[in-house]
Amino acid sequence: MRIFQGIEFLLLLVTVSASAQTAAQPATPPCSKSEYRQLDFWVGDWVLTWPGAKAGDPENKAANSIRKELGDCVIEENFDGSTNGGLIGKSVSMYSSVTGKWHQTWVDNQGAYLELVGGWDGKEFHLSREGKNQKGQAVMQRMIFKNITPNAFDWSWEVSNDQGKTWQVQWPIHYTRKKS
């Protein structure tokens, strides 16, 4: 009986020691790799401007608030264009280590639901999807973040009717970081 108690005590010591060593080592956060930082330039509060519908129309304005959520694994966007036609929308973006790409889901108060996929090409950040135009014809759609500096960048929504050979900018937006 004493031999078994001694063995049980020894096993308990080994288990406690192994647990203490594991607890002492800091766990690597799940989304700490550099790929998860590729959209960090977007995080913050922004003033957005874009041209009026036709020449001479006043410039349009909106606000966009971008936050990192869920252990810095998710980028959450809150777009408020209520002063210009009422578009209010949200997106969540996340890098997938399984696909090696970024995935974004956009929803808004006008009934849109979009899923986009893409990533960083070293100079610009692209997200794209296959969609349909007003006539129900297949088109490619993409958004591009470009001319990125710490306090400003340009974003555009673009459409291609020829499977990506040519693109037409449909919504050019200039982002300027809000001053604190």
User: What percentage of the chain carries pLDDT values higher than 70?
Assistant: 85
Where are any strands of DSSP class E within 56-151? 60-69, 74-81, 87-96, 101-108, 113-120, 125-132, 138-149
C-alpha 90 chain-centroid distance: 11
> How high is the pLDDT of residue 122?
84
Write out pLDDT tens, residues 101-128: 999 999 999 999 999 999 999 899 999 9
Question: Which residues, 6 or more positions from 120, have their beta carbon under 8 angstroms from its beta carbon?
Answer: 38
Q: Which residues pair with 61 in a beta bridge?
A: 49
Write out pLDDT tens, residues 129-149: 999 888 889 999 999 999 999
CB 101 within 8 A of CB 94: no
Q: Where are the domains of the chain?
A: 38-177
Between 2.40.128.20, 2.30.30.90, 2.30.110.10, 3.40.50.1580, what CATH number should domain 38-177 receive? 2.40.128.20
Which region among 4-13, 61-70, 93-102 has the lowest average model confidence (pLDDT)? 4-13
> How high is the pLDDT of residue 144?
98
User: What is the pTM (predicted TM-score) of this model?
Assistant: 0.82
